[in-house]
Amino acid sequence: MIGKGLCFWVGLLVATSAAHAATLDDLRGSVFKIQVTSNEPSFSDPWKRQASSGSSGTGFYIGDHHILTNAHVVASASFITVQRDGDSKPTPATVRFIAHDADMALIEPVDPDFFKGLRPMSFGSVPKLRSPVATIGYPTGGEQLSVTEGIVSRVSFRRYVHHGDASHLLVQVDSAINPGNSGGPVVQGRQVVGVAFQSFTQAENTGYIIPVPVIRRFLKDIEDGHYDGHPEDGLTNLDWAMVNPDTAAFHGLPAGKGGTKIAHVSEWAPTAGKIVAGDILLSIDDRPIGVDGKVDFQGERVDFRTVFDLKQMGEVARFEIAREGRIQMVQVDVKPSKPHYVSQFVYAKRGRFMVYGGLVFSALSRSYLRIWGERWYKDAPLLLRFLDNYAEYEPETSGLEDIVVLAKRLPDEVNTYATSNLFGVVTKVDGHSIKSIADLALRLEGQGGDFIVIDFFGSDEPIVMSRAAVKARNVALNARYGVTPDRWLAGPEDDGAVSVRGTK
């Protein structure tokens, strides 16, 4: 099964001084320092933005006036500059494409001559285990390019921390990839084999790079001028079940030969209706799936999801499955998932929210949970932590687009008695189920009886307010607290969580 709750990986954004002089003269001109002023949204007062902050990372020239870097280097950026090695003059740049799920972005300097005389870097393949790699970048705040040598120690399918919930193929290297290295090329010889992007803080000298198949997928995805994002398989599987002789016999298969057993299929996923709980996945696109849920992929054993994850929207995935003793082929059309809750960070202009009658309602997200600090997974209210992990398995929340949280009360005479259910999850307004913040807005401001009655998940105590009093007081109340705007109802595409539209 895919584990949840990793909290000790960090992106590699903040820079300090240089450590190691670069020697790869041919490549150094194509690697840039990226400096960013960012202006992140506030999730405790969602109509506000946080104070500006500065950070830096690395990027490299891939041709067509584009610099490839990490999404987390330029997320929420209000101003970006790029700087060539040895050049004292930073050049402003803009984001052309950003893929938060894959932690990659393409930026473009505003100066059309910026790349004059530079050669784009070319891509290689997935580096072999125990092969040496060199990470090039501007770690720990330095002005000079540095190169760090390392050895490839693992190829696996794991979580990308910038997104919070998405997992993709990644390569682990046993070298110190430091803050500021983010977005820098990792090379073997003259070829890029990955992009440095995160490290493991609980182990020394453990860094992670985005490998070429994930990079190529991103670049292909945006060829039509729009980033669609990685597909979600929505499958929960029970690895190793098929090693059990009785289990294998029940499914009409020889023990240990292979296959992983499906425990749950999310109703919002493209696999829903094609694959069902209890199926044994035997292969994907003719790659046999082992009892450990892994397939052979470019010489390594990785999670079978890797194959599905690297597909573009509109492609198909072919699964060989065993169902009720019969082996059959199932074709899944790879397409975007239906709207659903994803336990991810939000990089939109704002998180989705609405303020009405002084009650602040926010859409649950990993960013919202971070209000409780680094230990949010322990300190945040139990219900929110639970739904963040298990929403898709609960009948009450499985079809929701947003999990709507009563996040705050802005005290006013109209809500003096609406003190219950803080951090509660809204289930109904006036008896109507609430599936999103937009839905909530419709119900709160729509026609109804004399009273607005708001019900909450697991609570026997609704909030009841006079509809007329709230309506009469709302504008003045928002003015009193400087609530502008009083809502942000942007859909998943607009919120930058998966993708943003390119403007080339």
Residues lying near other proteins in the complex (CB under 8 A): 1, 236-238, 240-247, 249-251, 261-264, 277-278, 291, 378-379, 382-383, 385-386, 389-390, 393, 417-418, 420, 450-451, 453, 457-458, 460-462, 464-466, 469
Q: How far is the CB of 258 from other proteins (least distance, A)?
A: 13
Q: How far is the CB of 383 from other proteins (least distance, A)?
A: 7
Assess contact for 372 and 384: CB atoms under 8 A.
no
CA distance 397 to 211: 35
Q: How far is the CB of 164 from other proteins (least distance, A)?
A: 17
Across 242-268, b (16+ Cβ under 10 Å) vs e yields bbeeebbeebebeeeebbbbbeebbeb
- Name the token pair of 332: 């899944």
Q: Which is nearer to other proteins, 153 or 236 (CB)?
A: 236
Q: Which is nearer to other proteins, 124 or 278 (CB)?
A: 278
Q: Which is nearer to other proteins, 188 or 398 (CB)?
A: 398
Cα dihedral sign, 345-185-307-130: negative
Residue 487 pairs in a beta bridge with: 354
Percentages helix, strand, coil for the chain (3-state, rounded to 5) are 15, 35, 45
Q: How far is the CB of 68 from other proteins (least distance, A)?
A: 35
Residue with tokens 């921390």: 161
Q: Which is nearer to other proteins, 53 or 389 (CB)?
A: 389
Question: Residue 311 gets which letter from DSSP?
Answer: P
Q: How far is the CB of 453 from other proteins (least distance, A)?
A: 7
What SS3 class is residue 16? coil
Q: Which is nearer to other proteins, 67 or 426 (CB)?
A: 426
Assess contact for 19 and 35: CB atoms under 8 A.
no
Q: How far is the CB of 340 from other proteins (least distance, A)?
A: 15
- Name the token pair of 263: 């425990």
Q: Which is nearer to other proteins, 103 or 279 (CB)?
A: 279
- Name the token pair of 223: 């060829």
Q: How far is the CB of 472 from other proteins (least distance, A)?
A: 14
Residue with tokens 């999103």: 436
In sequence order, the 6+-apart residues with CB closer than 8 A to the CB of 477 are 357, 358, 410, 412, 414, 483
Residue with tokens 């074709």: 331
Q: Which is nearer to other proteins, 410 or 453 (CB)?
A: 453
Of 21, 16, 9, 345, the C-alpha closest to 181 is: 16
Across 324-339, b (16+ Cβ under 10 Å) vs e yields eeeeeebebebebbee
Q: Which is nearer to other proteins, 99 or 291 (CB)?
A: 291
In sequence order, the 6+-apart residues with CB closer than 8 A to the CB of 2 are 167, 236
Across 300-309, b (16+ Cβ under 10 Å) vs e yields bebbbbbbbb
Q: How far is the CB of 302 from other proteins (least distance, A)?
A: 20
Q: Which is nearer to other proteins, 278 or 336 (CB)?
A: 278
Q: Which is nearer to other proteins, 332 or 465 (CB)?
A: 465
Bond before 231 cis per omega within 30 degrees: no
Q: Which is nearer to other proteins, 79 or 240 (CB)?
A: 240
Q: How far is the CB of 403 from other proteins (least distance, A)?
A: 14
What SS3 class is residue 328? strand
Q: Which is nearer to other proteins, 265 or 500 (CB)?
A: 265
Assess contact for 185 and 27: CB atoms under 8 A.
yes
Q: How far is the CB of 393 from other proteins (least distance, A)?
A: 4
Residue 158 pairs in a beta bridge with: 168
Of 123, 146, 125, the C-alpha closest to 33 is: 146
Q: How far is the CB of 173 from other proteins (least distance, A)?
A: 28
Q: How far is the CB of 329 from other proteins (least distance, A)?
A: 23
- Name the token pair of 329: 């082929």
